[in-house]
Amino acid sequence: MKQTLLIVNALLVIAVSFLLYKQFTSGSEKVVTAGGVLKTKDSLGSKKLLFAYMNMDSIQSKYELAKAVSKEVERRQESLDAELNKMDKAYRNKFEGYQQRGASMTEEQAVAAREDIESTQRQILEKRQSLMDGYQSWLASKNMSVIKDIQDYLKKFNADGTYSFIFSHEPFFYYSDTAYDITSEVIQGLNQQYKANKGK
């Protein structure tokens, strides 16, 4: 759960950093005057910058899609753990079986058993890595789907341009005025959007 929040927050940080970069690098443009002299026209000169923030913990716990994805992640994690435990148990049983027969084995049988154990270890490591890679890839896609849903909603939410920037609260702020906390409005809108999309 914490890993999921960290990934979501990290992706939001990247997205916000990119938006800040785009906002401030495209803010001024060169204008050629009648005399041919270049002047700088600042597009932010007459615009009031207004920041808002969202509490991602609240969104994670109250946004229906995020809760559904979180439950799905838990189920997938439990399934992965069960699969890994099953493989480990099968390996231990095989190893213990060879140990119990160890004294009665011929030298050829002992060599074959050792090779079988080593081969089984390699197969388990490869399978474990494959399962973990698949899980991480799936988890990243699930997190991105939630983030994209939030971003799409925020575009609609801020269609009138009220806010210049909307941040995630956790990684940035040491102080914030609660007057600019839009978390509850965003959660309400996200849940309405989720229900509407789910009904389609």
Q: Which two tokens stand for residue 47?
A: 């615009």
The average pLDDT across 156-167 equals 85
Q: Provide the 8-state DSSP code for 26.
A: S
Q: Are 140 and 177 in contact (CB under 8 A)?
A: no
* DSSP helix/strand/coil, 47: coil
| pLDDT confidence of residue 177 | 61
Query: What is the chain's mean pLDDT, rounded?
Result: 79
C-alpha to C-alpha distances, 183 to 4, 22, 173, 200, nearest whole angstrom: 19, 24, 15, 26
pLDDT band at 16 (very low <50, low <70, confident <90, very high): low
Share of the chain above pLDDT 90, in %: 34
pLDDT digits (tens, 9 = 90+) for 122-137: 999 999 999 999 999 9
Q: Which two tokens stand for residue 189?
A: 């809108």
**What gap in Å lies between CA 20 and CA 172, rounded to an integer?**
14
Q: Which two tokens stand for residue 198?
A: 């789910």
The average pLDDT across 37-52 equals 57
Worst-scoring range by mean pLDDT, 31-35, 71-75, 122-126, 148-152?
31-35
Whether the pTM exceeds 0.85: the reply is no
**What gap in Å lies between CA 99 and CA 120, rounded to an integer?**
15
Contacts of 159 (CB under 8 A, 6+ apart): none
* Torsion on CA atoms 98, 100, 101, 107, rounded to nearest 10: 70
Count CA atoms closer than 13 A to 173's CA, side-chain side. 17
| pLDDT confidence of residue 18 | 54
Q: What are phi and psi of 41, to 5 degrees?
A: -105, 115
| pLDDT confidence of residue 46 | 56
Sign of CA dihedral 76, 81, 87, 90: negative
pLDDT digits (tens, 9 = 90+) for 80-139: 999 999 999 999 999 999 888 888 888 898 899 999 999 999 999 999 999 999 999 999
**What gap in Å lies between CA 111 and CA 97, rounded to an integer?**
15
**What gap in Å lies between CA 176 and CA 133, rounded to an integer?**
39
